[in-house]
Amino acid sequence: MANSLHSNRSPLSLLLLLVLLSLGTYLVAPMVFMLIGVEALGISFDQFMRNIASGNTDPSGQLVLLTVQGVSAVLSFIVVPALFIRKFESGRLDNYFHSKFINLNAIAITIGLTMSLMVVNSLLIEWNMSVEFPESLAATFDQMEEQGKLMTEYLTDFYSFPYFLLTMLVVAVVPAIGEELLFRGLIQKYLQRVWGNPHVAIWVTAMFFSAFHMQFYGFVPRMALGAFFGYLFYYSGNLWYASIAHFVNNGLTLLMIYLFQQGVVEFDIESTESMSIWSTLAYVIIGGILFVLFRKQFHITDNLKNE
């Protein structure tokens, strides 16, 4: 059986170790690389953060921040999980990403499904933004949301096409591979081993995935997105489909921001205004049909048997 354990540790202890190693790296690595980066720029860290807060975009600063984010993500979500798999599992990375068994019809359906969910999720985004949290939490969440917004605006001020491609690599390609390997490929799989219920594992992983991004005014739509990725992996047994969906979600957003900045399109995808309820319902129906078609591409009734 693929990806079987060759460790005497329990699935729960392995899960805790994985989370500690991977997310611990993600907390420490950015701080270390950021200090190196601002030193290279010849400014203090406080000055660098003030530049971001003021909207004073600087290509050198953008490259430093993007590089820090990219290197930290590669270490945390690709290198650490790969070493973990090598150490504690008998399988290899290609037991998660089955490149030889890619179904072109399933890829097309996955892309359609993802775009449908993006439309439906706009309704959840609008609703989640209107949620009123207790006053003690609201101030903290507002500050985190504002910091995230400033960081995103700083990174997505595309001053050149090569910088746009680099941003696409860091924000779309690396998370599509790394985050799916960590959250769906490993965390979701271990949670199923602990509880024995794939659906509980999928949704708990989705909640963890959403909380990890630390943007609670977008918690519900990101959780729905994480569950969607989880079910793609569950029914296909292949992380490529979840990765493709993740890439389409992030990459299409970046592309639309770039085209909007270039004046090619008038639609601002960063707007939280959703489509009408009837249009959204139409996409729910389309997504449901596509999901049924996706499942029919695979003769697997109880997946995640790649344990």
- So where are the chain's domains? 11-296
Read off the pLDDT band of 174 (50, 70, 90).
very high
Distance (Å, whole) CA 227 – CA 216 = 17
Distance (Å, whole) CA 101 – CA 208 = 29
Read off the pLDDT band of 124 (50, 70, 90).
confident
Distance (Å, whole) CA 124 – CA 219 = 9
Read off the pLDDT band of 217 (50, 70, 90).
confident
Q: What is the pLDDT of residue 298?
A: 84
Percentage of the chain modeled with pLDDT above 70: 92
Read off the pLDDT band of 274 (50, 70, 90).
low
Q: What is the pLDDT of residue 91?
A: 66
Token pair for residue 198? 């794939």
CA 149, 151, 154, 156 torsion-angle sign: negative
Residue bearing the bigger pLDDT, 128 or 259: 259
Q: What is the pLDDT of residue 190?
A: 94
Q: What is the pLDDT of residue 303?
A: 45
Q: What is the pLDDT of residue 2?
A: 43
How many whole angstroms from its chain centre is CA 143?
A: 22
Q: What is the pLDDT of residue 273?
A: 64
For residues 243-255, give the mean pLDDT: 96
Among candidate residues 290, 242, 251, 257, the one with its CA nearest the CA of residue 109: 290
Q: What is the pLDDT of residue 46?
A: 82
pLDDT at 181 over 50: yes
Q: What is the pLDDT of residue 164?
A: 96
Interval 154-168: pLDDT, tens: 899 999 999 999 999
Interval 3-39: pLDDT, tens: 444 556 788 999 999 999 998 999 899 889 888 888 8
Q: What is the pLDDT of residue 278?
A: 79
Residue bearing the bigger pLDDT, 38 or 112: 112
Read off the pLDDT band of 272 (50, 70, 90).
low
CA distances from 76 to 66, 87, 175, 228, 232 (A): 15, 16, 10, 23, 23
